[in-house]
Amino acid sequence: MKQTESNYQFPGAQTLEIVQGDITRENVDAIVNAANSQLMHGGGVAAAISRRGGEVIQQESDSWVRDHGKVTHSQPAFTRAGNLPCKVVIHAVGPVWGDGDEEKKLAAAIQGSLRLAEKLKITSIAFPAISTGIFGFPKELAAEIFMRIFRAYFTQNPHSCIKTIRMIILDLPTYKIFLQAFQKEFSSE
């Protein structure tokens, strides 16, 4: 699949990239998995990550839930990446559309992933469009939230160890929606 890319550089030299591609092939320090609270990686992005990464991802996910309980929106889990080109998988629980307070929950999942990446000293991280697939979150609204959170994060943390955030979108229609939100948020600068 051809990767199409747009990017924005923040004053602190951090870069936000919007890419059409496969998150399981991203050569970054960490990728974010769109997970459920039990870390059962049976569908969507989670299944693709678990399949490509190998058994270690589900095994460590099961151990995490046994040791820490269900994963919340604001407190993601992490595992090793197994056969993936990244080092770590951050498991972020996105909201299911219709459960209530979805915008706040999605923002918490993104912010929690960034905080955990900072704690793990991650310099590059790739996000999927959390909750926009089987969880039914409207893509246009999700794209706006992602862009707003990324801008706020780098504005408030100009010396963050995170230097690159990639928004990785597999399908072209969703990529175009996220690209439009990206251009709306960052094109006036």
Domains and CATH numbers, the chain: 5-186 (3.40.220.10)
Note the pLDDT tens digit of each residue in 75-132: 999 999 999 999 999 999 999 999 999 999 999 999 999 999 999 999 999 999 999 9
Q: Are 45 and 34 in contact (CB under 8 A)?
A: yes
Q: How far is CA 115 from CA 22, 98, 109, 118, 135, in A?
A: 24, 26, 10, 5, 23
What lies within 8 Å, CB to CB, of 121 at 6+ separation is 161
Strands (E), 21-151: 30-35, 77-80, 88-93, 124-127
Note the pLDDT tens digit of each residue in 7-45: 898 888 899 999 999 999 999 999 999 999 999 998 888
Question: Minimal CA–CA distance to 175: which of 5, 30, 1?
Answer: 5
Backbone angles phi, psi at 133, to 5 degrees: -95, -110
Q: Which amino acid is present at 169?
A: I
DSSP 8-state class, residue 160: -
Q: Does position 188 have pLDDT exceeding 80, yes or no? A: no
Distance spanning both ends of the chain, measured CA to CA: 30
Q: Alpha helices of 120-160 — where are they, by DSSP H?
A: 139-156
Sheet (strand 88-93) strand order: 5-9, 15-20, 164-169, 124-127, 30-35, 88-93, 77-80
Q: What is the pTM of this model?
A: 0.95
Give bridge partners of residue 151 from the DSSP assignment.
Answer: none
Task: Report how far residue 84's alpha carbon sits from residue 54's, in angstroms, rounded to the nearest whole number.
Answer: 8
